Amino acid sequence: MMKKLLLIFLACGLCGVDVLAQEKDTVYLYHQNPLIGELKRIRYGTMLFRGEGLGNMEIDLNNVRTIRAYGYGYRIQTAQRQFVLGVFKPHEEDGMVTVYDGYEDRTFQVRHLNDVQLIHRNFFRRIEGRMGAGYSYTRSSAIGRWNGDLVLGYDTERLEVDLRGSVIITQAEQVLDRERENLVLTGNYYFDPNWFAFGLGVYQRNLQLGINRRIQQGLGVGLPMVQHKRGVLTLQTGLVINQEINMEDLRDNNLYEVPVILDVTFFKLNKPKINFTSNQTFFIGLTQAGRYRNDGETRINWEIVNNIDFGVNFYNNFDNQPPIPMGSNFDYGLVFNLGYRF
């Protein structure tokens, strides 16, 4: 991998005086002057570009003639499920761009660039995320509920690491109760755009289902079922191991399950900008035959102003054999919060 990136750097250095003089990225538009700055990302038909003296701006790919961008290299996925690591060189034909991958020039239509990620040298510049918080209060019962969530993403050439966490705390008569906690760490390694391997680690607490603590580890494979410039649907499966402690402090170790994970992401980048994500995981018990579970979360985020959004989060959990036999086997809820993206 590093050898390919080194070849890209050498190519940039040998491309001549014109390349050396052009240190900044350039986006060539139809019927407008070129924009100079930094190409940060392309996703779902929209380019995020930081223009000199203009700040961050979003550009519809239909308005882009061609691109020149080198940087530290880009991870590129196309609508045809091609996976390329390289840099952008302008193409003489409108609506086309040349990608140099360290070995050869490859030509693509600009509008077919599904996902383009700038490969940063700096660790912290590779991190993107969102944090949000909310509060609700019912006067009749004197009960308040705090909720918070955090989403972090870290990308390298072929690896995507995501950390998602959420918490709901109930406050009644000055007593705080940790009602629901969820922390999920996942890593996806892309062999090519058609399939990837994943690993995950999960911590859960859910008083409604009688779970004091559940720790889960798992491995598996996944593939994108649908890739579109406005959304992605992926399907994953593998094997997970659970360790559970119920509210009576009874422990169950090494509970094996087969997960079936469905991930859906949809973006509406025209105003109002809306981000819809849904993750539904279905578990088939192996150690406990006949046990079936479902953990799900659906989020809708609506951007109010730049980097500030209003979020609605619906969560659902089902267990036909809950840790406490007389406990509930279904839990769901709806929470609202304000969030900041970074």
pLDDT digits (tens, 9 = 90+) for 218-231: 999 999 888 776 77
Domain that holds residue 140: 125-341
Q: What is the CATH number of the domain that holds 311?
A: 2.40.160.40
Extract the residue ranges of the chain whose pLDDT is less than 70: 1-23, 120-123, 125-126, 138-142, 229, 269-270, 326-327
Q: Do both 98 and 169 map to the same domain?
A: no
One domain for residues 45 and 144: no
Number of domains in the chain: 2
Name the nearest CA neighbour of 145 among 120, 179, 190: 179
Q: What is the pTM of this model?
A: 0.78
From 63, 84, 119, the end of a domain falls on 119
The pLDDT value given to residue 296: 95
Q: Dump pLDDT digits (tens) for 5-49.
A: 444 444 444 344 344 334 689 999 998 899 999 898 887 778 889
Tell me: do 83 and 180 sit in the same domain.
no
Are 230 and 163 found together in one domain?
Answer: yes
Residues 138 and 111 grouped into a single domain:
no
What is the model's pLDDT at position 122? 67
Q: Are residues 214 and 77 in the same domain?
A: no
End-of-domain residue from the set 69, 88, 119: 119
The reported pLDDT for the residue numbered 17 is 34
| Beta-bridge partner residues of 320 | none
- 243 and 304: one domain? yes
Of the residues 89, 119, 149, the one at which a domain ends: 119
Give the pLDDT of residue 138: 63
